[in-house]
């Protein structure tokens, strides 16, 4: 695995002006990747609106020059694998070879309200990835699976990147990590502790070896939530409530730290939090202990604090940091400017 460290951010679901502004700014100042949430429904106490990811990325391809453009992440319930391949191929061509296809097992918020069955998510995603790879690597595909059946199927034109654009898989369960090793060019888990990241990386690399692939060619990334500011107290103040809201939607993070979640009512991967639940979600978050946030992988602080934490992840193998800054979109540029202090440190030091 190369020592070069990459840095990206995930931007907002909406509005378009904010998405365009922050992406073109990140492109101008030299960030490596921009990740667009692929959601039908955003999450928030007041705003739940989300623009369609692939349309936005295609428009961004016309307004940027260097930054890689990624979905963070797409699922294979709303999109047939062939449709995903066509979307990503199109983005790769429009961007002159800057597409990344991010894939995950899906979330209830994008499925349940629309009557889309959410069954066998890992098994379905494994089979979808197999189909995606076949469509990218072969001219014509015959496939007989449990979920997908293809007969002389093809998607042309092929992407510009060879052999194809990188495919990143999100996930930190044993099966999803083995899926990374079998199919993916990048691993994108979210909010893992240092120890869990180290353990997960070994699972990914061992899976790659078991499948006859070179584990050193898999980009080890990490998706993280946080707030960066000029002083730590300000960052802490800004981060605490958004972090509590987030942790209530991911109670498994709380459990992994050895705490008992106060409720599972707001878990958002396999369940659904409707806008009508927002007030109760907000009130529950305010009651969550500050200690849980401080012990969590969610990061807040100054650029120096970020450097210290990132170096810990670097030492256990992370080479691509993707930040979702938990601030209003109007404050994103300020965060990115401070984030560049972290980026420049790593680029000068490693």
Is residue 39 part of the annotated active site? The answer reads: yes
Pairing mode, strands 6-10 and 320-325: parallel
> Using CA atoms, how far apart are residues 277 and 204, in angstroms rounded to an integer?
37
Phi, psi dihedral angles at 188 (to 5 degrees): -130, 70
> Which member of 2, 10, 39, 328 is catalytic?
39
- What is the C-alpha separation between 239 and 86, in angstroms, rounded? 38
| CB-CB neighbours of 27 under 10 Å | 19
Closest by CA position to 51, among listed 19, 93, 83, 8: 19
| Catalytic-residue membership of 222 | no
Cα 169 from Cα 188, distance rounded (Å): 6
Reduced to 3 states, what is the DSSP secondary structure of residue 340?
helix
Whole-angstrom distance, CA of residue 166 vs CA of residue 169: 10
Name the active-site residue from 107, 127, 164, 320. Answer: 107
Residues with a known catalytic role: 39, 107
């Amino acid at each position: 695995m190369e020592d070069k460290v990459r840095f990206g951010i995930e931007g907002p679901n909406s509005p378009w002006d904010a998405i365009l502004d922050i992406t073109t700014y990140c492109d101008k100042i030299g960030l490596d990747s921009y990740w667009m949430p692929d959601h039908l429904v955003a999450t928030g106490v007041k705003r739940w609106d989300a623009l369609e990811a692939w349309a936005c990325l295609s428009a961004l391809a016309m307004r940027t020059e260097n930054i890689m453009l990624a979905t963070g992440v797409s699922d294979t319930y709303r999109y047939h694998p062939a449709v995903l391949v066509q979307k990503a191929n199109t983005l790769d061509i429009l961007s002159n070879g800057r597409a990344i296809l991010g894939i995950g097992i899906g979330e209830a918020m994008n499925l349940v309200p629309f009557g889309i069955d959410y069954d066998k998510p890992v098994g379905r995603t494994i089979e979808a990835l197999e189909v995606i790879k076949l469509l990218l690597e072969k001219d014509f595909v015959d496939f007989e699976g449990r979920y997908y059946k293809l007969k002389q199927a093809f998607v042309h034109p092929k992407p510009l990147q060879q052999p194809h654009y990188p495919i990143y898989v999100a996930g930190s369960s044993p099966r999803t990590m083995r899926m990374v090793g079998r199919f993916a060019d990048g691993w994108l888990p979210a909010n893992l502790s240092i120890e869990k990241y180290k353990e997960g990386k070994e699972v990914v690399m061992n899976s790659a070896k078991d499948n006859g692939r070179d584990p050193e060619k898999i980009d080890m990334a990490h998706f993280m939530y946080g707030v960066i500011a000029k002083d730590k107290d300000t960052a802490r103040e800004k981060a605490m409530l958004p972090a509590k809201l987030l942790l209530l939607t991911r109670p498994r993070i709380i459990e992994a730290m050895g705490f008992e979640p106060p409720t599972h009512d707001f878990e958002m991967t396999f369940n659904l939090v409707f806008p009508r639940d927002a007030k109760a979600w907000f009130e529950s978050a305010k009651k969550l202990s500050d200690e849980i946030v401080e012990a969590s992988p969610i990061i807040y602080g100054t650029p120096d604090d970020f450097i210290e934490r990132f170096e810990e992840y670097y030492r256990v193998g992370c080479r691509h940091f993707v930040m979702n800054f938990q601030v209003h979109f109007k404050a994103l540029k300020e965060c990115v400017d401070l984030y560049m202090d972290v980026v420049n440190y790593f680029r000068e030091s490693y």
